[in-house]
Amino acid sequence: MAEHVFFPDEPPKPLQIEYNGSLYDGGDWDQFPTRCGWKLETGAEKFPPRQIPRSFHSEIECWLYFGMLHCMFGDQLDQSEFLLPSEEDPRQYITTKHLDKYVSNGKEWKKRKLGERAVDIVKKVCEQLSGYGPLYVRYDMALAIRLLCYALWNIADKRDGPQTQTPYVRSWLFTSESDCRRMVAEGWCPLEAAKCRVAGGGVDTPAYLLQLMRVKAEWNTITHERCKKTECVANNVDESDYVTRHVQEDCICSHLQFNVEQLHTILLDGGVPLLMLTPDGEDELGNQSIKTEIVRKRMGRQYLAISHVWSDGLGNTEGNSLPICQIKLLYEEARRVLTGSEYVPRYEGGPFGPLHTGVARLAHFAGSQTLRRDDSVLLWIDTLCIPHQPDVRSLAIQRIRKVYVDAYRTMILDSEMRHINASSRSHLELLLRVLHCSGWMRRLWTLQEGLAAKSRLYMLFSDKAVNIATIADELLTKLDRGKMPVMQERIATFAMGVWFTFFKHTIDSTSKFERFVNLVAIASPFGKNDITRDQLIRWNWFNREFSILKEILEVKGSDERMRKFYSLIDIFPQGVLFQPGPRFEDYGMRWAMKVCQYTEEIQYLSGDPGKITPRGLQITLYLSWIFAPRIVFDLRLFDLDPRQGQLAWEQWVKEHNLEEATNLSNVCVLKTKSPLVFEPDRTYRVIADV
């Protein structure tokens, strides 16, 4: 029923919203409730509150959906085009596959002043939806109504200029808690659902995602039952029972062990090890053999860096080895991406696009000619290039960022994306799948690998690898040139915004704070409640000099590590003041969070940076008031005990002679989230985010 967000393509798994009511009668929209009988001629309600008989419920749905369509398009509307009969039974379903027919002609839209109609009817429908709501309108049908409102409003916004949203419009046109619950009920991670809502996505975002066919490998029985809307734990790895996967589940090929001593030698000598894979004839069964060698990374030699999550089975907790079938796959895909003609760089945007393309193509061909001499390829993957011996492993981890920065290409291996055919999907669908379906996007360290890769980041799908780093740019170019279907523009803009938040703003940040905080705040939350050593190793990405990380690692205890971290930076987002969670209590540190993870809700760090000083965080963004405790009354007392709260309120009013006061400028009435005792000999300050 939300086919319009995929137009001109078809959704992989269309939402089915059954509709068994009548069609709209074509009369005046405002008088429809009276004509149907649930309101009186005067316009007053005929029935007591919350007691409209069930027989009228379908009429209310008809009024809000088909009545809205009739107000928009009048006699030109064929209501039957918005109903899809079932092929198996008498039921029929809402469909929007023909909506484009009514809105695509911009000149006709202007001529008939459809923008004015759209704004007027959407305001009315959203107001009525707030009144009749879930009591009389099924959730699915409310979703259909909201999606139609969203489409019409956005088209008016684009063609007729920005429109002022009423509170009702704002309430219904964006992702709601009900949408999040629907996503979770259908198997989505609560964190992904919450991100749709908190990031400000419209109602079309969950509708789009719900119509994607999710495909997983047969072995993948991971669910999100233990996940929360602040944390995804589905991809966490238990090393005690970890299984290294083959390309096919029925494969029984042996592991190929790599030269660990050579790994150690290169790392201890200050270098970075790479795998050289070379075809080496055929084995006794006629299968191609691959010769493997550990070599030192050298200037001018193109190599492919692999980025993956261990929960997909490409890791190894016991040694530096992988099944032969996986080695062959890595060779084939690496050779394809490093030398294939379809992966020749092309840059379309900007005045220097052709020049940039020419230089990049020259470098690509020069590198590929070097590779073709013996058909060998160079690649890096953590499973084979990071040894397990602790001291040498630490050296390898220190150099991970350089691996991805220097790589000619970085390729992501994600088990769910490996089942998606990229050629048959639009760029918008591919981008949204990567953002919301990929386990790779939910892990902090893999996101850092993507940041380092910049515009050289490829995702391997079932048929080919696609440069996902440039998809958002291509969509933006398409949008700027007016080549994006009008009903996809908002969700495309949302997807691009999310992508650029991850991979543009963060990568362009220069301060130590931004390199740390942007991913911690925006990306997947950690699985622990304090700074662990593994997390600090991952944070090495944000500090180009390992000495900074070393200073933190040498400190014992999570609280002290956080103190050390704050001492190494000089700014922090002012929005931290409104983040829930435990804080330090000592002077000058009461603004600072003890925990780097979400608590009850996703709340992004926001606001301009404040300066960290010995006295605390210096802020300029928010209004504040200083007051003495004697003039404060905490409304939370009513929640704790209404009777005692009332008595306390009366006593407070009497003490300060407020019974007949006309000027309350010296009074502070507030409601704290948790109990707070205002001590009589102290002065307090209220900081407001308004």
What single-letter DSSP state applies at residue 196? H
Handedness of CA 134, 135, 138, 142 (dihedral sign): negative
- Alpha-carbon gap, residue 297 to 584, rounded angstroms: 45
What single-letter DSSP state applies at residue 465? E
pLDDT of residue 631: 66
- Alpha-carbon gap, residue 417 to 461, rounded angstroms: 5
What single-letter DSSP state applies at residue 316? -
Tokens linked to 296? 């030192």
Tokens linked to 236? 């966490």
Contact 490, 150 (CB under 8 A): yes
Contact 389, 377 (CB under 8 A): no
Contact 388, 319 (CB under 8 A): yes
Q: Which of 505, 537, 508, 533 is nearest to 521 (CA)?
A: 505
The CA–CA distances, whole Å, from 515 to 399, 528, 543, 566, 613 equal 17, 20, 8, 14, 20
Q: Which of 464, 468, 420, 405 is nearest to 441 (CA)?
A: 468
pLDDT of residue 512: 36
Would you give the distance in Å from CA 638 to the centre of its chain?
38
Residue count (the chain): 690
Handedness of CA 375, 378, 381, 386 (dihedral sign): positive
Tokens linked to 350? 């900007």
pLDDT of residue 108: 94
What does R_g of the chain's alpha carbons equal in angstroms?
Answer: 30
Q: Is 278 helix (H, G, I), strand (E, B) or coil?
A: strand
- Three-state SS sequence of 501-565: HHHHHHHHCCCHHHHHHHHHHHCCCCCCCCCCHHHHHHHHHHCCCHHHHHHHHCCCCHHHHHHHH
Tokens linked to 565? 């971290």
- CB atoms under 10 Å from CB of 219, counted, come to 13
- Alpha-carbon gap, residue 586 to 115, rounded angstroms: 57
Q: Is 372 helix (H, G, I), strand (E, B) or coil?
A: helix
- Three-state SS sequence of 109-155: HHHCCHHHHHHHHHHHHHHHHHHHHHHHCCHHHHHHHHHHHHHHHHH
pLDDT of residue 664: 59
pLDDT of residue 555: 80
Q: What is the mean pLDDT of each run of 10 residues along the chain (690 residues)?
A: 86 92 95 95 91 96 98 95 88 94 94 96 96 92 96 95 92 91 93 84 92 90 89 86 93 92 96 95 78 94 94 93 95 93 62 49 51 80 95 91 93 95 94 92 77 87 92 88 90 87 51 36 33 38 48 79 87 84 90 76 72 91 68 72 80 74 62 69 72
Degrees (nearest 5) of the Cα angle 328, 330, 332?
70
Q: Which of 57, 46, 47 is nearest to 22 (CA)?
A: 57
Q: Which residues of 82-95 are buried (b: 16+ CB within 10 A; e: fewer)?
A: bebeeeeeeeebbb
- Alpha-carbon gap, residue 267 to 260, rounded angstroms: 11
pLDDT of residue 641: 76
Instruction: Give the start-to-end residue ranges of the domains of the chain.
Output: 3-173, 243-413, 512-621, 624-688
Residue appearing with tokens 């959730």: 139
